[in-house]
A and B are shown apart, each in its own frame.
Chain A
Amino acid sequence: MINIKIEGIEYQVQEGLTILEAAKACGYEIPSLCAFNHGECNQGSCRACLVEATGARGLVASCVYPVSDGMEIRISTPKAVEARRRSVELLLSNHNKNCQQCDKNGQCELLHVAQLVGARDDAFNGTHSEVFVDRLAPGLVRDTSKCILCGRCVARCQNAHGLGILGFENRGFSTIVSPAQNRSFADSPCIQCGQCVNVCPTGALMENSEIGKIDAAFKAGKHVIAQAAPAVRAALGEEFGYPIGTPVTGKMAAAMRRLGFERVYDVNFGADLTIMEEGTELLHRLTEGGTLPMITSCSPGWVNYAEYNYGDLLPHLSSCKSPHQMQGAIIKSWWAQQHNVDPKDVFVVSVMPCVAKKFEKDRDQLKVDGIADVDAVITTRELARMIRRSGILFNRLPEEDWDADIMGDYSGAGVIFGVTGGVMEAALRTVYFKLTGKEHDPIEFTAVRGHDAGIREASIDINGTTVNVAIASGMKSAKVLLDEIREGKSKYQFIEIMGCPGGCINGGGQPYVRPSLLPNEDDDILDTYKEKRAKALYSEDERQTVRQSHNNPQIIELYEKYLGEPNGHLAHKLLHTSYAAREGFNEIQK
């Protein structure tokens, strides 16, 4: 510990902290923009955190300047206050201030910091940088007019995936953050996971909103049916002031019903269906000598990564569609038949924690007889926006159930799809039963659980055979497992890969976790939010009476009355897909 003074008051702090971190520990929040998540990004570029410190020439950027013994720090002197205000005013002078039309409004850190430092309207007037807006990618929108060049997205893309799609380009006033050659995300090997959106402090990076498509479908008189993914319930409450990790399943169903959807379904049913198909596929591969290890295919960000970078390993991917696509296909076939509706008049909306799903739903390989399984994908954040604009007071909603006709039941196995290791565990519960004829005791496979990036592995004994499994989330971890397969050194039979670190609970469409905008959360919320959201899902799993996908009565009924066998002919037509290698940079004419 070392001794420092802030505003003349003595404190003891840990050595090695930056002034920003030390001040936070002592009860001061210095405004900052570029600094993020314990130095994940610390360019010292925004200059919003300038303070006076002894031993330093002039003002220092507190996010990069380390504390030292005996240091005296002044945050509130007129010189420091004015410098911070000027810095932010300079950022604003080259910023597109159309805040009313910006979807980030309410959660914009630039606006928050501008208010904190007392930035004046149009303090500096001058030329604006040339503006580039990329709306070509189904998942993401990039608008350089709102970019403050903080570098958070660049750091996140590199840290989470080791890919580094985004980088700084050109110099001086012409500097922009973009994929190489200022290309669209659609024309670069971007996997559209949206992790960059989650860290962008302004509206420069956003999801490509599809709320307008839903409005159009309602106007056209379609049968608009909504389905929500497991991870959404673990985070939607955050948008309405609930503490992180509060499950809001019942209120979410109630809210979606009040938005006018003809049916509101839980994608957990689709998750159970995925396990039936994927589990069966794994058993076939294990017993009949198929390509091993088999890798899960639920995460469209991961599928994009595989197609761009590991075209040679595509036979390892399960041919199963992701749960919401499966469920969409069932809605447009079985449900439509049951209700005497033309599938062309059905409009399926998926509420997802994900922006890559926006890309996924448009894939040609996912169409059945030319009809897409899913017509629009909105993120958890977009759902919150729809709820707000409809005047629904979320907190006062009653707890309601999902619609239960045809696909209302779901198992606890379906719920945990939303967290890294969840698909693996759900599959193991069913595969164990199929091979042994009895349920695994205890039901849980805790060895595969976790809530962070990094690789976990486990060996499961099933009837004397050992099944080696591995789990990775984030492409940096996935790459390690994939390179092993490529080199012929992989010892696994089954691998789960999720695009986003921590899985869907930390997806690119989830509510923003911005410590400065969440005064009621703990200081270490960026370290704990994934675990808290994961717990919300595991607790729902425990509350379910049915815990295994193969015991879901409506799944059993669906196979008996409609699909026949898992991996059977009709199941293949509706529920399975294919992949194709893609070249990241060569898709457009240079």
Chain B
Amino acid sequence: MGGLNSAAVAQIKEICARYKDEKTPLMMILSDIQNEYGYIPLEVQELVSQETGISVAEIYGVVTFYSFFSLTPKGKYVIGCCLGTACYVKGAQNVIDRFSEELKIKPGETTPDGMFTLDALRCIGACGIAPAVSINGKVYPKMEVNQVPKVITDLYMDYKNKEGQSA
């Protein structure tokens, strides 16, 4: 657990303490950590294990079972391509393949510069606008394969603008 700074250790301990009266606190603890940090590395799982008495193997099992939890940091832009039945029928596989090709990463991975994460999602309930893509909560309807490069360029622009504003 050498990799964690004291502020993070304190905060994770605090998150564990929030649910100390729960019978099965693990999901809630992990959800809070995922929301707070964006990922749950092994060091953090060891700390949660120490605080809750739940074995690291079991925690690791839960983290790898649910796609909501992540072991590695997610990118600044999380591109979720819906592969539910309706989207799939409407060509979502081609869309995610194109993202994969443009970004040179597989679904589930993050670009080395930390900008993009590509996720394959099950039905997100937007079948009427299939194939749907959700990027940081914003939904892109009726996505077409040849729109993909422009979406990526726009996201880069968006990032630069934000950088400029904050500078």
Question: Chain A residues in contact with chain B, CB under 8 A?
Answer: 154, 158, 163-171, 178-181, 585-586, 590
Most buried by A among B3, B45, B60: B60
* Cα(A166)–Cα(B57), bound, Å: 6
Interface residues on B, range: 10 to 19
Contact between chains at A164 and B58 (CB < 8 Å): yes
Select from chain B the residue with minimum beta-carbon distance to A179: B57
Contact between chains at B60 and A181 (CB < 8 Å): yes
Contact between chains at B60 and A167 (CB < 8 Å): yes
Residues on A with C-beta less than 8 A from B55 are 158, 163-165, 167
Select from chain B the residue with minimum beta-carbon distance to A161: B55
> In the assembled complex, how far is the CB of residue B18 from the closest CB belonging to chain A, in whole angstroms?
23
Most buried by A among B3, B46, B64: B64
For the A-B complex with A170-B64, A180-B57 known, give 12 more contacts whose Cβ atoms are closer than 8 Å.
A158-B55, A164-B58, A165-B57, A167-B56, A167-B57, A169-B57, A169-B61, A170-B65, A180-B56, A585-B46, A590-B3, A590-B42
* Cα(A167)–Cα(B64), bound, Å: 11
Residues on B with C-beta less than 8 A from A179 are 57
Which residues of B from 1 to 40 have beta carbons under 8 Å from A?
Answer: 1-3
Residues on B with C-beta less than 8 A from A163 are 55
Residues on B with C-beta less than 8 A from A181 are 42, 60
* Cα(A590)–Cα(B42), bound, Å: 9
Contact between chains at B2 and A586 (CB < 8 Å): yes
* Cα(A166)–Cα(B41), bound, Å: 18
Contact between chains at B56 and A164 (CB < 8 Å): yes
Contact between chains at A171 and B65 (CB < 8 Å): yes
Secondary structure at chain A's binding surface: helix, strand, loop or mixed? mixed
Residues on A with C-beta less than 8 A from B56 are 164, 167, 180, 585
Secondary structure at chain B's binding surface: helix, strand, loop or mixed? helix
Select from chain A the residue with minimum beta-carbon distance to B46: A585
* Cα(A36)–Cα(B60), bound, Å: 25
Contact between chains at A180 and B65 (CB < 8 Å): no
Q: Can you spell out 7 A-B residue pairs with CB atoms less than 8 angstroms apart?
A: A167-B58, A167-B60, A169-B60, A170-B65, A171-B64, A181-B42, A585-B56
* Cα(A586)–Cα(B47), bound, Å: 13
> In the assembled complex, how far is the CB of residue A466 from the closest CB belonging to chain B, in whole angstroms?
35
Select from chain A the residue with minimum beta-carbon distance to B71: A181
Question: Chain B residues in contact with chain A, CB under 8 A?
Answer: 1-3, 41-42, 45-46, 54-61, 64-65
Contact between chains at A180 and B2 (CB < 8 Å): no
Residues on B with C-beta less than 8 A from A158 are 55
> In the assembled complex, how far is the CB of residue B52 from the closest CB belonging to chain A, in whole angstroms?
12
* Cα(A181)–Cα(B43), bound, Å: 11
Select from chain B the residue with minimum beta-carbon distance to A190: B57
Residues on A with C-beta less than 8 A from B42 are 180-181, 585, 590
> In the assembled complex, how far is the CB of residue B94 from the closest CB belonging to chain A, in whole angstroms?
23
* Cα(A181)–Cα(B56), bound, Å: 9
Select from chain A the residue with minimum beta-carbon distance to B45: A180
Residues on B with C-beta less than 8 A from A170 are 64-65
> In the assembled complex, how far is the CB of residue A156 from the closest CB belonging to chain B, in whole angstroms?
13
Residues on A with C-beta less than 8 A from B64 are 169-171
Select from chain B the residue with minimum beta-carbon distance to A586: B2
> In the assembled complex, how far is the CB of residue A476 from the closest CB belonging to chain B, in whole angstroms?
12
> In the assembled complex, how far is the CB of residue A153 from the closest CB belonging to chain B, in whole angstroms?
11
Select from chain A the residue with minimum beta-carbon distance to B59: A180
Residues on A with C-beta less than 8 A from B60 are 167, 169, 180-181
> In the assembled complex, how far is the CB of residue B64 from the closest CB belonging to chain A, in whole angstroms?
5
Select from chain B the residue with minimum beta-carbon distance to A174: B64
Residues on A with C-beta less than 8 A from B1 are 586
> In the assembled complex, how far is the CB of residue B122 from the closest CB belonging to chain A, in whole angstroms?
12
Most buried by A among B2, B42, B57, B60: B57
Contact between chains at B46 and A167 (CB < 8 Å): no
Residues on A with C-beta less than 8 A from B2 are 586
> In the assembled complex, how far is the CB of residue B5 from the closest CB belonging to chain A, in whole angstroms?
16
> In the assembled complex, how far is the CB of residue B69 from the closest CB belonging to chain A, in whole angstroms?
11
* Cα(A171)–Cα(B59), bound, Å: 14
Contact between chains at A164 and B65 (CB < 8 Å): no
Residues on A with C-beta less than 8 A from B57 are 154, 164-167, 169, 178-180
> In the assembled complex, how far is the CB of residue B66 from the closest CB belonging to chain A, in whole angstroms?
8
